[in-house]
Structure 1
Amino acid sequence: MLPTDFALQVRGVTKSFGANTVLRGIDLDVPRGKVVALIGPSGSGKTTMLRSLNGLEIPDAGSVTVGAGATSGLPALSVDFSTPVSKKARAEQISLLRDRSAMVFQQYNLFPHMTVLQNVIEGPVQVQKRPREEVIAEAEALLARVGLADKRDSYPFELSGGQQQRVGIVRALALKPQLLLFDEPTSSLDPELVDDVLAVIKELAEEGWTMVIVTHELAFARQMADEVVFMDGGVVVERGPASQVLRKPQEERTQAFVRRLLHEL
């Protein structure tokens, strides 16, 4: 049973693509209301790990447990990928897992033929079957919150990259998830557009949202994360408070990675 102060617990997750083993028995704990940053070199498995948390990638083995919803009243949910089940049963498990989290993608992934408002309300109305007028009101309030109230009827191609990423965050919030998952949320942005996105994420952290963020930006991780998890070669090499892992890492692989990124700045 997942302790009540934890939003997420991962145990022994493995994942291979053909002969390439990407995850080698990952354990991960995310306390409720905390921000955990996954860092590591390209190919370390961090994005695959993130995508495994909501079934965008289906692990070969291991378990993912999401704690009971603090405000939704949902019970804890545990999916054991090591136990064989039918395709139908696995699909139902993945659907339940996806109901608990929302992903903010590196490349925004907005529907180009839909307006900003239509992008935001699509999931809550079509998937969650919530009342359309209620969802629209909530969406408009969220857009106003991130400074995009005047863009509700715009199309993605009319927005800057930073604006599109803020819409992506609003789209995730509109689903009312227990977990917010971010895959390199600022890496596709021009430097002058990063601050607006970081400000939104920082505000969410201060409000107590539980977040798992994949990033290669050490300054971002240092500023945002309660805990940093360094992955390399499909395993967790080091984890701990951001101040420790990013300033005084204990493992040689972590030290080399941090030195290299700092040298590139």
Structure 2
Amino acid sequence: MSPADPPRPPAPQGVAQSRADAPALLTVRGLQKSFGTTRVLESIDLTVNRGTVLALIGPSGSGKTTILRCLNGLDLADGGTIDVAGYATLTFDPAPGKKQLTTLRDRSAMVFQHYNLFPHKTVLENVIEGPVIVQKRNRAEVTAEALALLDRVGLTEKKDSYPFELSGGQQQRVGIVRALALRPQLLLFDEPTSALDPELVGDVLRLIKELATEGWTMVIVTHELEFAREVASEIAFVDGGTIVEHGAPKDLLRNPREERTRQFLHRLLFPF
């Protein structure tokens, strides 16, 4: 985006700080989750500083999406704690109350793999729904911010369109705008390009890279290793419900310490 672009909604707190000395925005300790008798998360420990982009990589079924859903309160963990900048500290044994979950959700926003837009609402209505209905913010103020965000991603002319009238890439950009309109401190992305045709992936990845450059704190589940290398501050390899290895992209992707990480990367880079 050029400097002449319209004003953007306020940047997330902590953007001005360098990543090296930024305090933790997200702290996760001992997170556990089972579905029935199947243990999905064994014991997840994570610390994500303000302005950091953490990419979660790993095989299908390893628990990556479940981690994200627990961070947003969409799935309730069975044990452990999640703390978001001291504003929301949730302990999951016993389960947190509705007020605690609402506080957690107010600090984060999720961008889904399959867009999850309301099919009966226009693009603009999808974007302003959360800030107006859930956050009780002024409709005129929210609408002005929403229009500025839609202009930023080149979708102003689609504001009165319905999701079925948009391409997959356009729907995903609306999903990102919808998340930004909530003014979250933490952005969560679940495989944001996996449902897109290959020619539509680039626009979405460029937008996420822009947000990273601006200092948004993000946790991204992705299978795009080159994208993770370019945009992430840190990468965590998840397998079997545990974080096998966690480090800087240049270290983890080029010279992983763990044999399981090496096997996964080799299979992904050389599938045949």
**Alignment of 1:179 onto 2:197:** no
1:96 corresponds to:
103
Asked whether the 8 Å contact 2:22–2:51 carries over to 1, the reply is no
Q: 1:194 to 1:4 in 2, by over 3 A?
A: closer
1:81 corresponds to:
92
Q: Counterpart amino acid of 2:101? A: I
Name which of structure 1's ranges 229-238 and 91-100 shifts more when overlaid on structure 2. 91-100
Distance in 1 (alpha carbons) for counterparts of 2:124 and 2:104: 25
Distance in 1 (alpha carbons) for counterparts of 2:22 and 2:206: 29
2:173 corresponds to:
166
2:253 counterpart SS class: helix
What TM-score, normalized by structure 2, do the two folds share? 0.90
Distance in 2 (alpha carbons) for counterparts of 1:161 and 1:32: 30
Deviation by residue 1:105-139 (Cα, 9 ceiling, x = unmatched) = 00000001110000000000000000101100000
Distance in 2 (alpha carbons) for counterparts of 1:177 and 1:159: 25
Distance in 2 (alpha carbons) for counterparts of 1:90 and 1:256: 41
Distance in 2 (alpha carbons) for counterparts of 1:231 and 1:198: 22
1:22 corresponds to:
40
Superposition map of 1:143-222 within 5 A = 143-222=150-229
- Report the alpha carbon displacement of residue 217 of structure 1 after superposing the two structures with TM: 1.4
- Report the alpha carbon displacement of residue 90 of structure 1 after superposing the two structures with TM: 1.6
What TM-score, normalized by structure 1, do the two folds share? 0.93
**Alignment of 1:255 onto 2:262:** yes
2:154 counterpart SS class: coil
Asked whether the 8 Å contact 1:59–1:81 carries over to 2, the reply is yes
1:33 corresponds to:
51
Distance in 2 (alpha carbons) for counterparts of 1:202 and 1:231: 22
Distance in 1 (alpha carbons) for counterparts of 2:156 and 2:22: 37
- Report the alpha carbon displacement of residue 234 of structure 1 after superposing the two structures with TM: 0.4
- Report the alpha carbon displacement of residue 4 of structure 1 after superposing the two structures with TM: 6.2
Deviation by residue 1:159-208 (Cα, 9 ceiling, x = unmatched) = 11000000000000000000000000000101110110011101100000
- Report the alpha carbon displacement of residue 264 of structure 1 after superposing the two structures with TM: 3.0
Distance in 2 (alpha carbons) for counterparts of 1:163 and 1:18: 37
Q: Counterpart amino acid of 1:19? A: T
Asked whether the 8 Å contact 1:4–1:67 carries over to 2, the reply is no
Asked whether the 8 Å contact 2:56–2:222 carries over to 1, the reply is yes
1:228 corresponds to:
235
2:24 corresponds to:
6
Distance in 2 (alpha carbons) for counterparts of 1:243 and 1:164: 32
Distance in 1 (alpha carbons) for counterparts of 2:222 and 2:209: 14
Match of 1:46 among 61, 64, 67: 64
2:12 corresponds to:
none
Distance in 2 (alpha carbons) for counterparts of 1:59 and 1:67: 19
- The list of structure 1 runs, each at least 4 consecutive aligned residues, that deviate by more than 4 angstroms after superposition, is none
1:264 counterpart SS class: coil
1:139 corresponds to:
146
Q: Counterpart amino acid of 2:185? A: Q
1:147 counterpart SS class: coil
Unaligned residue ranges in structure 2 (runs of 5+): 1-20
1:141 counterpart SS class: helix
Distance in 2 (alpha carbons) for counterparts of 1:137 and 1:110: 20
1:72 corresponds to:
none
